[in-house]
């Protein structure tokens, strides 16, 4: 079975190549192999490969840059999903696609369910939401997995940034009034493989296509997340100038950015766990695994 993975150079894409290998012949495309902002190139690639499963891990994720580069963000996060969905419908291939908590405004005081109203506050969130809708309109045979705070051993992420800064500085100021669940790329890849294997075994009738929220269990703030990362690093013998006690909490207002971040990035994963009969491990397990690889 031919499986196409876009965004293979990213955190989730890298892990997907490992997780999906037992399911079929995986064709990995990074940005150099196929630029999703180029519609003609994307169509030609899909026509040439004729995949039987498409997993889209590619995205324009530069949240702040998107505020001044809406055209590219729209091309990658939205228009490409229409093209992928249209090709998938013709090929009879299901599509698994990753989306984000940024489709919400972050104002709720509880985890967001799939049925909660969407209200993206910036270009990144708006284009990702548009991509969800483009895919759904193009083909019913899709899964959209919304997630948040992705961390992996491959590629750039918050944990790597904290390790670098803690090696350079005596103290770190980190936002403490935004909460979410750090979710490992490896977990997302393994869950994706489970979803796709279920389709392979049962076909469309048992595929449970649709929209799901998928994150690790529990939640934390960016500040406490940073403290956890540095504590793990120190325990592993990494020499740092700033330790967990040197991470100082600040408010979002003290760290202005071009794009607004959700204060609440928690996602209710009950629909996913009940549908697929899976347990989502605590975020600390995934982050610890990633840190062991990095360190």
Q: What is the pLDDT of residues 71-115, one digit of tens each?
A: 999 999 999 999 999 999 999 999 999 999 999 999 999 999 999
DSSP 8-class letter at 260 = P
**pLDDT for position 234:** 96
**What ranges do the domains of the chain cover?**
2-156+182-217+266-282
Model confidence pLDDT, tens digit, residues 190-205 = 999 999 999 999 999 9
Model-level pTM? 0.96
Residue 32 has pLDDT above 90, yes or no: no
Asked whether residue 117 carries a pLDDT value surpassing 90, the answer given is yes
Beta-strand pair 25-29/2-6 = parallel
Q: Distances in Å between the alpha carbon of 65 and those of 33, 162, 236, 259, 273?
A: 23, 21, 35, 8, 34
Tell me: pLDDT of 181 over 90: yes
Hey, CA dihedral for 212, 216, 217, 222, is it positive or negative? negative
Q: What is the pLDDT of residue 31?
A: 85
pLDDT score, position 34: 87
From residue 187, how far is each of 97, 212, 231, 236, 237 by CA, in Å? 15, 15, 22, 22, 26
What do you get for the CA distance between the two ends of the chain, in Å? 36
Give the residues across from 267 on adjacent strands: 112
List residues bridging with 199 in a β-sheet.
none
* 270 pLDDT more than 90: yes
pLDDT given at position 8 = 94
> What does the mean pLDDT of the chain come to?
97
CATH placement of domain 2-156+182-217+266-282: 3.40.50.720
The set of catalytic residues is 124
Triad 108, 119, 133: Cα angle to 5°: 130
Residue 124's pLDDT band, with cuts at 50, 70 and 90, is very high
Q: Is the pLDDT of residue 69 over 90?
A: yes
pLDDT of the residue at 33: 86
Rg (CA), the chain: 19
Whether the per-residue pLDDT at 156 is higher than 90: the answer is no
Interval 194-219 mean pLDDT: 96
The model's confidence at residue 146, banded by pLDDT at 50, 70 and 90, is very high
- pLDDT at 138 (0 to 100): 98
């Amino acid at each position: 079975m031919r499986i196409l993975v876009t965004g293979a150079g990213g955190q989730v894409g890298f892990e997907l190549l490992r997780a999906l290998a037992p399911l079929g012949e995986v064709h990995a495309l990074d940005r150099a192999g196929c630029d999703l902002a180029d519609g003609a190139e994307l169509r030609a690639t899909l026509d040439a490969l004729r995949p039987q499963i498409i997993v889209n891990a590619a995205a324009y994720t530069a949240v702040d840059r998107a505020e001044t580069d809406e055209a590219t963000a729209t091309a990658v996060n939205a228009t490409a999903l229409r093209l992928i969905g249209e090709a998938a419908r013709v090929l009879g291939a299901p599509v698994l696609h990753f989306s984000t908590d940024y489709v919400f405004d972050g104002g709720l005081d509880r985890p967001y369910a799939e049925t909660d109203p969407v209200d993206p506050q910036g270009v990144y969130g708006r284009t990702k939401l548009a991509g969800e809708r483009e895919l759904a309109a193009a083909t019913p045979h899709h899964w959209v997995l919304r997630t948040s705070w992705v961390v992996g051993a491959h590629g750039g992420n918050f944990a790597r940034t904290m390790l670098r800064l803690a090696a350079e500085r005596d103290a770190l100021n980190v936002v403490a009034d935004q909460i979410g669940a750090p979710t490992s790329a490896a977990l997302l890849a393994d869950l994706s493989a489970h979803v796709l294997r279920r389709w392979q075994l049962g076909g469309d009738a048992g595929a449970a296509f649709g929209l799901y929220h998928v994150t690790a269990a529990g939640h934390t703030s960016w500040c406490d997340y940073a403290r956890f990362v540095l504590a793990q690093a120190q325990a592993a013998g990494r020499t740092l100038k700033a330790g967990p006690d040197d991470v100082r909490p600040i408010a979002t207002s003290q760290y202005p950015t071009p794009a607004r971040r959700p204060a609440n990035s928690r996602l209710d994963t009950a629909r996913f766990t009940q549908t697929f009969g899976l347990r989502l491990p605590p975020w600390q397990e995934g982050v610890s695994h990633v840190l062991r690889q990095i360190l």
